[in-house]
Amino acid sequence: MGVKVIEVTPAQIEELREKFNSKYATTPPAAPFHPVDIDRIRNDHVWLQRFLEMYDLDMEASMNKLWETCTWRESYGANDLDESKLNQEYLKEGSVFIHSSDVDGKPLLVFRVRLHSKSKSLDELIRIVIYWVERTQREKHMTQLTIFFDMAGTGLATLDLDFVKRIVETFKMYYPNALNYILVFELAWVLNAAFKVIKALLPPKAVEILKMISKKDIGQYISKDNCLASWGGSDNYEFSFVAETKQVVASKPVASSDDDQLGLGGDKKVHFAKIAPMVLKESNIGDMHTPTEGMLQLEQKEFVNFNQKNAEATVNFKCISQKPVTYKIQTTSPEKFRVRPRCGIISPNEKAEISIWLKSEYKLSEDSKDKFLVMAMIVPGTCGGADVAELWRNKCTGGPEIEQHRLVCRFENSASKCAGKASTATLDCAKGGKPDLQDQVKALSRRVKVGNFVQYLTLLLVLLLYAAVGFLFFEHYYPVGPGSCGKQSGAFCPNKRK
């Protein structure tokens, strides 16, 4: 569901991006913003879109809040927050954790309020909340969350209004439009007054997604399979902390205003030099990707399918190796696309999703020149997430230990049109979803012929109609037969003059 927002256009996102870049270049902050946040602004659209949605397309308000948020994130260290910097007792007791998802597929940020104690440090608890939010948004690319307050067994002794206020303020100030629902489960009647106070703190948009639920109606927001047994569901999950599998992030400040190479240490354009230019046909489509999959199993075998409306695409793959695998994404047209994440490490049986956006000022090539290369290799030794960029920078991508998957860019409508059809000509189903010009001319010619035929047929029918009306008129006033004058007046009918 999420809050109701005004639709944001790519032009408005670009305007906010340009405002930020201009201010960052002319009046930079005292401490440079974190490279990850710079990357989100310059090479992504989701974060900027969230600010514009939250502040109803008010460009100045969105810009000011974006700047304030970046300042806070840098001073707080939000991007660098990991489990080693948290209170281990609070982290592992399971009073706050991420598990399962709601009916919209949004992860649940669960608060088991009965495990809380007012004697705990609020600062340490908020750090854990921020850690889970940041970790989830790294793993699932800026996904929205649903807050689930599990109030079962909670009394006045464990309900800490100050803690709840801090949670509300944190999301309100620094995570715009990041919530899908706020669910309050099994709230005891004695706590109703306390939650009215909390409700008053929420912005109007957040009040829309606040829902008081019980076991009777929880199914409206979380499916039974995703509900814990204590919520009346079939999920017997017991919390046990699992450390994060790190993705690669940028590791140095960025000064450039349009650097698309963040996080890769200068990722370069790939030319697919070993592949001769070709027109995609069924006879050679198999040459465009690795025929055997030993490390990664891609859902998309030949194409990257872009959505016609928002020019977005995803590449999904799974690690089928018995060892951790590192991957890297390259493209023939780095100036056209934004890609997140560009590289990383995934463990056996783990899945990864790569998000790709076609920049608004560019179009897909019509001759299949826009391609992506997904490369993979076994993680050597004790290489960690922070070492992946350096590992790929020094690696020869044509080596025998590198698995490669080549994908051609196209729009989704071409996928539906070409599915299951054999290609007998040089018509390329990957041409950005646009039909061949010759086919367009033929189709237009057929429509003109049909239109002409309909016009001629209509004219013929009109003439026949006029003839029929004329015949009936004549028969009525000038009937054929002796002694019959029909409705003629006496001046014209000899029989009536008698």
Q: Tens of pLDDT along 171-221?
A: 999 999 999 999 999 887 767 777 777 778 777 878 888 898 999 999 999
pLDDT at 288 (0 to 100): 42
Range of the domain at 293: 285-418
Is 436 exposed, middle or buried (CB count within 10 Å of its CB: 0-12, 13-18, 19+)? middle
Closest by CA to 247, choosing from 193, 328, 306, is 328
224-263 confidence digits (pLDDT tens): 999 999 999 999 999 999 988 765 443 333 433 333 333 3
Whether residue 147 sits in one domain with residue 170? yes
Q: Which domain-ending residue is among 166, 198, 231?
A: 231
Question: Are 293 and 409 within one domain?
Answer: yes
**One-letter-per-residue 3-state SS of the chain:** CCCCCCCCCHHHHHHHHHHHHHHHHHCCCCCCCCHHHHHHHHHCCHHHHHHHHHCCCCHHHHHHHHHHHHHHHHHHCHHHCCHHHCCHHHHHHCCEEEEEECCCCCEEEEEEHHHCCCCCCHHHHHHHHHHHHHHHHHHCCCCCEEEEEECCCCCCCCCCHHHHHHHHHHHHHHCCCCEEEEEEECCCHHHHHHHHHHHHHCCHHHHHCEEEECCCCHHHCCCHHHCEHHHCCCECCCCCCCCCCCECCCCCCCCCCCCCCCCCCCCCCCCCCCCCCCCCCCCCHHHHCCCCCCCEEECCCCEEEECCCCCEEEEEEEECCCCCEEEEEEECCCCCEEEECCEEEECCCCEEEEEEEECCCCCCCCCCCCEEEEEEEECCCCCCHHHHHHHHHCCCCCCCCCEEEEEEEEEHHHHHHHCCCCCCCCCCCCCCCCCCHHHHHHHHHHHHHHHHHHHHHHHHHHHHHHHHHHHHHHHHHCCCCCCCCCCCCCCCCHHHHC
Residue with tokens 């994060």: 244
State the CB neighbour count (10 A cutoff) for residue 380.
Answer: 13
Report yes or no on 188 lying in a domain.
yes
pLDDT, residue 248, reads 45
The per-residue pLDDT for 224 is 92
Q: State how far the Cα of 168 lies from the Cα of 190, in Å rounded to an integer.
A: 21
114-146 tens-digit pLDDT: 888 888 899 999 999 999 999 999 988 889 999
271 in a structural domain: no
In order of 151, 459, 475, 477, the CA distances from 465 in angstroms are 79, 10, 15, 19
Domain assignment present for 297: yes
pLDDT of 59 reads 96
CA separation (Å) from 464 to 402, 468, 469, 475, 479? 77, 6, 9, 17, 21
pLDDT beneath 50: ranges in the chain: 248-268, 272-291, 420-436, 497-498
Q: Look at residue 244 in the predicted model and tell me its pLDDT.
A: 87
249 in a structural domain: no
Q: 94-126 burial, b if ≥16 CB within 10 A, otherwise e?
A: ebbbbebbbeeebbbbbbbbebbeeebeeeebb
- What CATH number has the domain bearing residue 325? 2.60.40.10
Residues 113 and 151 sit within 8 Å (Cβ to Cβ): yes
Residue 199: the pLDDT is 78
pLDDT at 208: 86
Place of tokens 């919390």: 239
Q: For residue 124, what pLDDT is reported?
A: 93
| Residue 237, in any domain of the structure | no
- Domains contained in the chain, number: 4
The predicted structure's pLDDT at residue 222: 95
> Are residues 263 and 250 in contact, defined by beta-carbon separation less than 8 angstroms?
yes
Question: Are 310 and 190 in the same domain?
Answer: no
pLDDT of residue 273: 44
Q: Is residue 68 assigned to a domain?
A: yes
Q: Are residues 88 and 116 in the same domain?
A: yes
Q: Angle formed by the axes of helices 161-174 and 59-76, to 10°?
A: 120
Are both 407 and 454 inside the same structural domain?
A: no
Listed residues 418, 453, 468: the one ending a domain:
418
Smallest Cα–Cα separation from 145: which of 111, 189, 98?
A: 98
- Same domain flag for 368 and 475: no
Domain presence at residue 331: yes
Same domain, 44 and 93: no
| Final residue of a structural domain among 363, 384, 418 | 418
The CATH number of the domain holding residue 184 is 3.40.525.10
Domain match, 87 and 210 both: yes
pLDDT at 258: 38
Q: What is the pLDDT of residue 252?
A: 39
Residue 275 lies in a domain: no
173, 212: one domain: yes
74 lies in the same domain as 86 = no
**Do both 403 and 447 map to the same domain?**
no
- Residue 264 pLDDT: 39
Query: What does the pLDDT read at residue 414?
Result: 56
Q: Report how far residue 483's alpha carbon sits from residue 259's, in angstroms, rounded to the nearest whole number.
A: 102
128 and 222 housed in the same domain: yes
